[in-house]
Amino acid sequence: MATDPATFDPSRLVAVLGGGQLGRMLGFAGNRINVTCKFLDPSPVAPAIAAGELLVGELNDFAAVARLAKEATVLTYEWEGVDPGAIVAQENTPPVRPSVRALKIARDRGQEKQLLRDLDIPLANFAVIENEGDIEAALNRVGFPAVLKTQFGGYDGKGQARVNSLDELSVAVKGFAGAPLTLEELVLFTRELSLIAVRSLTGETVYYPLVENLHADGILRITRAPALDLMGSLEGMQDQQKIAEGYARSILDELNYVGVLTLELFEGNDQLLVNEIAPRVHNSGHWTIEGAQCSQFENHLRAILGDPLGSPEAIGASVMVNCLGVMPNPEALNSLPDTYLHDYGKDLRPNRKVGHVTITATDNRVVEEQLLELRKIAPEIFLGLGASTHRSSGV
């Protein structure tokens, strides 16, 4: 996608490591506020090609990163799998936001967990396993049942295994072929929530409302925003919102963070535990494009460029449904009001996130009715969910 010379502002050029759907949505958000994004991605047909200039190259290629960063105002990233060394190696790298320190911590599960522990933020008990000699000590700390996860990489249910015995743990450790691992206590939670926070260069901070997430096989399938409490009340979420914001504020301040930060949370037994942090825009915030005053994507760009932040307030109620490996017929959705289809332009493959659908309405009852209609019209995007598309609250 070529940049219009008449609107191009060289002081608002953002270099983005990664050109997936998150980059694509960053680029589209930038187009609305006179921000130009250019991307680096290994694929010549990466989704972000529709939203800005795409450089083809590996994310750990120092020369490719240098080409991307040249003349950029700021450098950011759309996922935490990028190589910090490729950024640090640049002599003339523009400011990196969020910082390289934030990236290093968030991409390393062991460092991430230790940061949370150091900040007294509640999380599941864990232990690091760097080799087979660490298994006994890790088991003594965590016990069974537990989840073994790779310290680096791993997303959408990949890079992890549930273990219930020493034999299962030993087999799983060997199966990861010497990769650094963490063993985590298996948390029995009522539901999964997430919070998206944004902190600007000046320290201005805003928080989107907590949302409720439904996963299947480790992959996010449905997000409801804002989350209601288990009795179906929005007002009943005020205490949880304040607690989650407190967790986020501690992390943001400790890292002197700039940009969007996402907390993935477990709710249960009168506790709110942090499962993971993501130093970037997040799948559970896709609803903000149509459902919030200012989307997470626009606010990320505003934050890293030093602009005032936009309002994170929800316009009404929203539900977002991920499309895995299949896209619904756009014409079939025309009968549903306030329903928005996002096609990432990807080849269709099983379990691949190829798009999403967002429904917005004035209240949760209407959104849930619309969701039932969507399921009738496009049942293919609900495969694997059974009947589990209802709210945890039963609403």
Question: Is 176 found in the same domain as 203?
Answer: no
| Residue bearing the bigger pLDDT, 393 or 63 | 63
- Residue appearing with tokens 């989650």: 244
Q: Does residue 107 sit within a domain?
A: no
Distance (Å) of CA 81 to CA 103, 113, 138, 379: 9, 17, 26, 33
Q: At 17, which CATH number?
A: 3.40.50.20
Contact between 113 and 107 under an 8 Å Cβ cutoff? The reply is no
Question: Is 323 found in the same domain as 205?
Answer: yes
Single out the residue in 185, 215, 235 at which a domain terminates. Answer: 185
**Predicted pLDDT at 157:** 62
> DSSP letter at 96?
B
pLDDT in tens, 40-81: 999 999 999 999 999 999 999 999 999 999 999 999 999 888
Q: Does residue 389 sit within a domain?
A: no
Select from 161, 158, 177, 157 the least CA-distant residue to 169: 161
Question: Is 141 found in the same domain as 59?
Answer: no
Single out the residue in 150, 185, 220 at which a domain terminates. Answer: 185
Q: At 166, which CATH number?
A: 3.30.1490.20
Based on the number of CB atoms within 10 Å of its own CB, is 55 exposed (0-12), middle (13-18) or buried (19 or more)?
middle
**Predicted pLDDT at 158:** 73
**Predicted pLDDT at 1:** 54
Q: Does residue 238 sit within a domain?
A: yes
Cβ neighbors of 316 (< 8 A, separation 6 or more) are 291, 360, 361, 362, 363, 367
Question: Is 211 found in the same domain as 164?
Answer: no
Q: Does residue 146 sit within a domain?
A: yes
Write out the DSSP string of 332-376.
Answer: GGGGSTTEEEEE--PPP-TT-EEEEEEEEESSHHHHHHHHHHHHH
> DSSP letter at 289?
H
- In angstroms, rounded to a whole number, what is the distance separating the alpha carbons of residues 155 and 374? 27
Q: Report the percentage of the chain scoring pLDDT > 90.
A: 74
Pairing of strands 13-17, 339-343: unpaired
Give the pair of three-digit tokens for residue 183.
């063993």
Write out the DSSP string of 71-91.
Answer: T-SEEEESSTTS-HHHHHT-T
pLDDT in tens, 133-153: 788 888 889 888 999 998 887
Half-sphere exposure of residue 3: CA atoms within 13 angstroms, side-chain side: 21
Q: Does residue 101 sit within a domain?
A: no
Contact between 338 and 361 under an 8 Å Cβ cutoff? The reply is yes
**Predicted pLDDT at 203:** 95
3-class secondary structure, 165: coil
- Residue appearing with tokens 């000699």: 133
Question: Is 155 found in the same domain as 240?
Answer: no
Question: Is 219 found in the same domain as 177?
Answer: no
Question: Is 206 found in the same domain as 327?
Answer: yes
pLDDT in tens, 350-371: 999 999 999 999 999 999 999 9
Question: Is 24 found in the same domain as 133?
Answer: no
pLDDT band at residue 394 under the 50/70/90 scheme: very low
The domain of 176 spans: 125-185
Q: Report the percentage of the chain scoring pLDDT > 70.
A: 95
pLDDT band at residue 154 under the 50/70/90 scheme: low
Which range has the worst mean pLDDT, 79-88, 225-234, 235-244? 79-88
- In angstroms, rounded to a whole number, what is the distance separating the alpha carbons of residues 380 and 375? 8
Question: Is 332 found in the same domain as 250?
Answer: yes
pLDDT band at residue 129 under the 50/70/90 scheme: confident
Task: State the total domains in the chain.
Answer: 3
- In angstroms, rounded to a whole number, what is the distance separating the alpha carbons of residues 115 and 136? 24
pLDDT band at residue 24 under the 50/70/90 scheme: very high
Single out the residue in 164, 185, 206 at which a domain terminates. Answer: 185
- Residue appearing with tokens 């249910």: 157
Contact between 65 and 43 under an 8 Å Cβ cutoff? The reply is no
Q: Does residue 46 sit within a domain?
A: yes
- In angstroms, rounded to a whole number, what is the distance separating the alpha carbons of residues 265 and 284? 12
Select from 111, 113, 131 the least CA-distant residue to 122: 113
Cβ neighbors of 273 (< 8 A, separation 6 or more) are 122, 123, 124, 187, 189, 265, 266, 267
Q: In the chain, what is the greatest distance between 2 CA atoms, to the nearest angstrom?
A: 65
- In angstroms, rounded to a whole number, what is the distance separating the alpha carbons of residues 353 and 346? 8
| Residue bearing the bigger pLDDT, 88 or 200 | 200
pTM summary value:
0.93
Over range 196-217, report the average pLDDT.
96
Write out the DSSP string of 168-197.
Answer: HHHHHHHHTTT--EEEEEPP--SEEEEEEE
**Predicted pLDDT at 168:** 86
pLDDT in tens, 245-297: 999 999 999 999 999 999 999 998 889 999 999 999 999 999 999 999 999 99
